[in-house]
């Protein structure tokens, strides 16, 4: 059983190094029930903070998107950002390819479009990042409060099992002596 577990971990580690499987896994991770929302919010906050900071520093948007894609931390988001970069190079506004990727929530797309039209894209992206950082904190607090009872039940069961395993031989020994 231990060998099977080790083989499974090694297999998963190897498969995550394969780019196509990594892309599928990261896409699934963004849509997973509990973790997907947290993962999406984290990557959007990272996207907004990185791109906004680079834009405010005067970096060209295509170069800033290139750097942002490399720091995405998720290959599905990296692919989407690269698509946005190619579309912007082709003359599209940033909101159109963001909508097509279906990764970014509508609020992020709208705020980005407003920031692009008003000339304050960098500041708007930083506001998006601040909002999503707060959302990540709230999601982590919620997830933690959901996991706490499960941890308590698991630890109680483990301690109960250890106690029973420890005292059963003593009771058996007592019966054998009588």
Section 111-139 average pLDDT: 93
Q: Could you tell me the CA-to-CA distances from 178 to 36, 53, 63, 158 in Å, in that order?
A: 60, 79, 83, 31
Per-residue pLDDT of 27-36, as tens digits, reads 898 888 878 8
The pLDDT of residue 174:
73
Q: With pLDDT > 90 as the criterion, what percentage of the chain qualifies?
A: 67
Confidence check: pLDDT of 85 > 90: yes
The pLDDT of residue 168:
84
The pLDDT of residue 178:
66
The pLDDT of residue 93:
92
What DSSP letter does each residue of 56-115 carry, written as one string? HTT--HHHHHHHHHHT-SSHHHHHHHHHHHHHHHTT--THHHHHHHT-S-HHHHHHHHHH
The pLDDT of residue 46:
94
What is the CATH T-level fold of the domain 2-138, as seen in this structure? Receptor-associated Protein (1.20.81)
Section 119-135 average pLDDT: 94
- State pTM to two decimals: 0.78
Cα–Cα distance measured from residue 167 to residue 9, given in angstroms and rounded to the nearest whole number: 35
Give me the residue spans of the domains in the chain.
Answer: 2-138
Section 165-169 average pLDDT: 85
Our CA dihedral for 88, 92, 95, 100, rounded to 10 degrees, sits at: -90
Per-residue pLDDT of 41-79, as tens digits, reads 999 999 999 999 999 999 999 999 999 999 988 899 999
Q: With pLDDT > 70 as the criterion, what percentage of the chain qualifies?
A: 99
């Amino acid at each position: 059983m231990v060998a099977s577990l080790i083989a499974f971990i090694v297999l998963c580690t190897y498969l995550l190094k394969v780019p196509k499987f990594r892309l599928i896994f990261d896409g699934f991770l963004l849509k997973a029930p509990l973790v997907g929302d947290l993962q999406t919010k984290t990557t959007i906050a990272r996207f907004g903070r990185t791109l906004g900071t680079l834009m405010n520093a005067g970096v060209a948007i295509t170069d800033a998107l290139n750097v942002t894609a490399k720091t995405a931390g998720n290959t599905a988001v990296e692919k989407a950002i690269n698509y946005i970069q190619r579309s912007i190079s082709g003359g599209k506004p940033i909101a159109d390819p963001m909508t097509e990727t279906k990764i970014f929530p509508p609020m992020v797309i709208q705020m980005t479009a407003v920031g692009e039209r008003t000339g304050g894209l960098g500041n708007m992206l930083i506001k998006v990042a601040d909002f999503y950082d707060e959302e990540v904190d709230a999601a982590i607090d919620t997830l933690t409060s959901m996991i706490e009872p499960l941890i308590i039940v698991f630890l109680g069961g483990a301690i109960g099992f250890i106690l029973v395993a420890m005292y059963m031989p003593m009771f058996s020994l007592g019966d054998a002596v009588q």
